Structure 1
Amino acid sequence: MDALSMRRLGQELNVGAMSLYHHVASKEELLDGMVDLVFAEIELTESRDDWQTAMRARAVSAREVLARHPWAISLMASRTNSGPANLRHHEAVKASLRTAGFSIPMATHANWLLDSYIYGFALQEATLPFAGADELADMIHEVFLPQLPPQEYPYLNESANELTRSNYNPADEFTYGLSLILDALERARLVARP
């Protein structure tokens, strides 16, 4: 994102940088629009859906979108001028949580928790030194296990060996963690009911 400039964008589009200003007022407005386009790709939740189903679908969709646009992860919550897709997205999340019986504070907590998990997971996935389970297995054998003498690191060594034997796929961690979060939020929602 630091490398993005109106001049560079103009060069990429074979137009003068000044002609871009007929469409956007500044780089900040351009970034706002780019983030809004990313939000437009995320599946909207329906307030009439079961809240857990809706939040799960939204989270999975957001993860897929952020995998296609890793540059957007750090910008998603930083924009102060929200576009229409961004606002529709956040309205749908709040509507789903509120109609499910979450209080305003609990809906806010749930939204923050879910977004932190989704964005954090997407960021971690984008920076992993391997792509997929097969590359991880190779890396465990070639890089990690040689660094993990069993007498010095018995638990790390044990884990590394078990992960390769069980065809472990780190991509499955997202749905596992998401299920834990949704279950915890459901318990909190039920406890808070009058």
Structure 2
Amino acid sequence: MTQQLETSRRIPLNRGRVLEAAVALADKAGLDALSMRRLAEDLGVVPMALYKHVANKDELLDGMVDAVIDEIAPVSADAGWRDAVRLRVLSARQTLLRHPWARHALETRTNRTPAVLTYTDEVIGMFLAGGFSVDLTHHVMHALGSRMWGFTQELFDDAAGRGAEAAVPPEAQAAMVQEMAERYPNILQVATAAQHDDGSVVSYGCDDQFEFEFALDLMLDGFERLQRLEWSSAAQKRGGK
């Protein structure tokens, strides 16, 4: 351990190293464990040394978000708009799955960094290059929302309650299902309609990746239809189709 710290001290500290170590620390221990003191310990330096490269923790978090966004794979320049958007979004999803803390960071950061703006600009550009009007693209981006980054808040998101559910004895779970069947039959019917996998955030055991891609493809189908119809918000407001 001592030798590792000595080696770390001999490597010149720069902003890239600070961000790389911060991302690794958040990956390992979560954002709650991230502090300038803890990060300095991991780098084998005194905390004050970090402030030469990041002004404060907010700037550190902004830089971490940018570092994660830089991992999202680009798409081929000759890909059609639909393939380009789909591949970019699914790459963003895989990136955020590698860095579980990044979703919360993206949701809570108020500063739109160059990497955030560049990524957003690129996604918008994919629709515009595909022949979408500026008006339709505006509404498309509203519809995509956080899905652009590879995540979404789902209707059946019950991550907080699953730990308690796992501790409930089987007979109690059976009673709960029976009560659901009597009081909320439609919810129960829909929630148990598909094959499920453990560890989901969509519903207890739902296949997250399948549900995400299903909704993304559904939206892309709708966007494509509106683009073919030369849809505009002005015509819609006048009672058009």
TM superposition score normalised by structure 2: 0.62
Consecutive unaligned residues of structure 1, counting only runs of 5 or more, are: 132-137
Partner of 1:82: 113
Out of 35, 45, 62, the residue aligned to residue 5 of structure 1 is: 35
Distance 1:21 1:81 in 2: 21
Which has the bigger relative contact order, CA under 8 A and spacing at least 6? Answer: 1
- In structure 2, the residue matched to 1:175 is 213
Can you list the C-alpha shifts for 1:83-142, whole angstroms capped at 9, x where unaligned? 3x43442232122111112222322332332242355845659973699xxxxxx99x95
Q: How big is the alpha-carbon RMSD for the aligned residues of Structure 1 and Structure 2?
A: 3.6
Number of the residue aligned with 1:98: 128
Cα separation, partners in 2 of 1:95 and 1:48, compared to 1, 3 Å: farther
- Assess, with a 3 A threshold, how the Cα gap between structure 1 residues 123 and 16 changes in structure 2: closer, same or farther: farther
Match of 1:188 among 223, 226, 230: 226
Matches of 1:169 and 1:101, distance apart in 2? 33
2:69 partner letter: F
**Residue 187 to residue 160, structure 1, CA distance change in 2 (3 Å):** closer
Alignment of 1:71-150 (within 5 A): 71-76=101-106, 78-83=109-114, 85-118=115-148, 121=151, 128=159, 142=170, 145-149=174-178, 150=181
How far apart, in 1, do the equivalents of 2:46 and 2:86 lie?
Answer: 44
Q: Could you say if the C-alpha distance between residues 161 and 115 of structure 1 is closer, same or farther in structure 2, counting changes exceeding 3 Å?
A: closer
Contact 2:37 / 2:47 at 8 angstroms: preserved in 1?
A: yes
Q: Distance in 1 between matches of 2:157 and 2:47?
A: 31
Assess, with a 3 A threshold, how the Cα gap between structure 1 residues 45 and 190 changes in structure 2: closer, same or farther.
Answer: same
Residue 186 (structure 2) pairs with residue 155 (structure 1):
yes
Matched, 1:39 2:39: no
Deviations 1:10-40 (A, max 9, x none): 1232311101112222212211110111111
Closer, same or farther: CA 2–160 of 1 in aligned 2, 3 Å = closer
**Range moving further from structure 2, 109-118 or 25-34:** 109-118
Contact 1:66 1:73 in 2 (8 A): yes
1:24 pairs with 2:54: yes
Aligned equivalents of 1:26 and 1:164: distance in 2? 47
Long gaps (5+) in structure 2: 1-30, 197-204, 233-241
Distance in 1 (CA, whole Å) between partners of 2:128 and 2:50 is: 41
Give the distance between the partners of 1:19 and 1:120, measured in 2 at CA: 35
Change (3 A) 1:116 1:88: closer
The sequence identity of aligned pairs, in percent, is 34
Larger radius of gyration: 2
Q: Is the 8 A contact 1:73 1:123 kept in 2?
A: no
Q: Which amino acid in 1 is paired with 2:186?
A: Y
Q: Could you say what secondary structure the match of 1:74 adopts? A: helix
Deviation at 1:44, TM superposition (A): 2.4
